[in-house]
């Protein structure tokens, strides 16, 4: 393995001060409490998650998911090699010259193990994950986390190389996205009441999700100024803080206008909503920005109210948006741009769903579609 002198000083700027944390032995790493779990955050892994947030502009949720996968990796190394974690020692290990930590057998800290990691060490961890009976999708996500982490470490000179170049991601069975019918969409959108502000907000929120196909994280990130009534469009900040403009249907636009009329007339929330350019479009009952979890709770409420499948999620409306567009002849590239997919191949999965529907309709309707 080619060893380079590490640029640990470059990483040091990302690392918060953890000197008030106590050391924790390997036997303490499996504790379920937050007090113990946070001790498996090393300076090297925290530097990486900070890089994801500050330079790659990952959402807080995505960065947390990466961090959780890395904490599991750290906990495994701590237990498997019987190494207690002391944050000060882990910080010192990160600052050492790579040539002094390239031999994993002589590792004194978990950071030493990570910086000198090879394919064998990673495969040992993956074997452990395999024993936990994770799904292929979860395994693929955890491997992707390690792949991103070691690619970053190798590029920054923090690790002695990238052991993930020898690791293959297991193949996953392709699952077609779930979509609901137009009739079910209409039934759902009609559920929220119109007599109070929160009911109008919920109607506007659901109409916007289906009208634009945006992600729930993009929905709650909208500001009132992101709505362009004259252009019938919405300015959306997607993954990696990439902005795109998406069309806003007349039904969604009308629902938003009706919601804002009642919001602006409200003596409690109206003044603040009209005075700040960064006012959230969809507010909670306290006037703050609505959370993704709250959107899911509201959706679950209306699904139960109208008797629809309780497993339907905000992402189901996104899938339905794309599927219904393609069913009615929309161009695949246009759909890709509207829903913000970076790769056309990601959008193409919806064509499989549309093809499946066509085949089902053919088999059910054509007199010679099936052998007697």
Active site residues: 215, 239, 315, 318, 341, 350
Nearest to 51 by CA among 116, 159, 148: 148
Judge contact between 98 and 160, C-beta under 8 A.
yes
Reported residue count of the chain is 372
Residue with tokens 């495994």: 76
In angstroms, the CA 128 to CA 130 distance is 5
Judge contact between 273 and 264, C-beta under 8 A.
yes
The β-bridge partners of 234 are: 227, 246
In angstroms, the CA 96 to CA 109 distance is 12
CA dihedral 255, 261, 264, 269 (to 10 degrees): -50
Judge contact between 192 and 302, C-beta under 8 A.
yes
């Amino acid at each position: 393995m080619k060893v380079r002198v590490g640029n640990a000083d470059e990483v040091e700027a990302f690392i918060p001060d953890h000197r008030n944390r106590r050391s924790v032995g390997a036997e303490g790493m499996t504790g379920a409490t937050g007090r113990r779990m946070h001790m498996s955050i090393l300076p090297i892994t925290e530097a990486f998650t900070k890089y994801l947030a500050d330079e790659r502009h990952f959402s807080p949720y995505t960065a947390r998911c990466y961090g959780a996968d890395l904490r599991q990796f750290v906990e495994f190394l701590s237990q498997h090699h019987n190494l207690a974690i002391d944050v000060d020692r882990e910080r010192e290990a990160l600052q050492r010259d790579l040539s002094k930590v390239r031999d994993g057998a002589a590792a004194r800290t978990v950071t030493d193990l990570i910086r000198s990691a090879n394919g064998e060490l990673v495969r040992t961890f993956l074997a452990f994950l395999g024993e936990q009976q994770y799904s292929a999708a979860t395994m693929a996500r955890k491997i992707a986390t390690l792949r991103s982490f070691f690619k970053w470490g190798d590029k920054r000179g923090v690790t002695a190389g990238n052991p993930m170049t020898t690791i293959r991601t297991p193949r996953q069975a392709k699952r077609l996205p779930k979509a609901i019918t137009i009739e079910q969409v209409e039934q759902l959108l009609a559920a929220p009441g119109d007599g109070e502000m929160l009911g109008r907000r919920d109607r506007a929120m659901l109409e916007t999700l289906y009208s634009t196909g945006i992600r729930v994280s993009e929905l709650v990130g909208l500001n009132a100024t992101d709505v362009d009534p004259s252009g019938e469009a919405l300015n959306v900040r997607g993954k990696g803080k990439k902005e795109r403009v998406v069309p806003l249907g007349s039904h969604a636009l009308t629902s938003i206008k009706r919601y804002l009329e009642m919001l602006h007339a409200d003596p409690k929330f109206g003044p603040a909503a009209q005075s700040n350019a960064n006012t959230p479009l969809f507010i909670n009952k306290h006037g703050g920005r609505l959370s993704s979890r709250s959107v899911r709770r509201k959706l679950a409420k209306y699904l139960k109210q109208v008797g629809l499948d309780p497993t339907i999620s905000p992402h189901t409306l996104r899938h339905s948006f794309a599927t219904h567009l393609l069913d009615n002849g929309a161009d695949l590239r246009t759909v890709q741009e509207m829903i913000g997919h970076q790769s056309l191949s990601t959008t193409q999965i919806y064509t499989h769903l549309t093809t499946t529907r066509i085949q089902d309709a053919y088999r059910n309707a054509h007199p010679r579609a099936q052998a007697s």
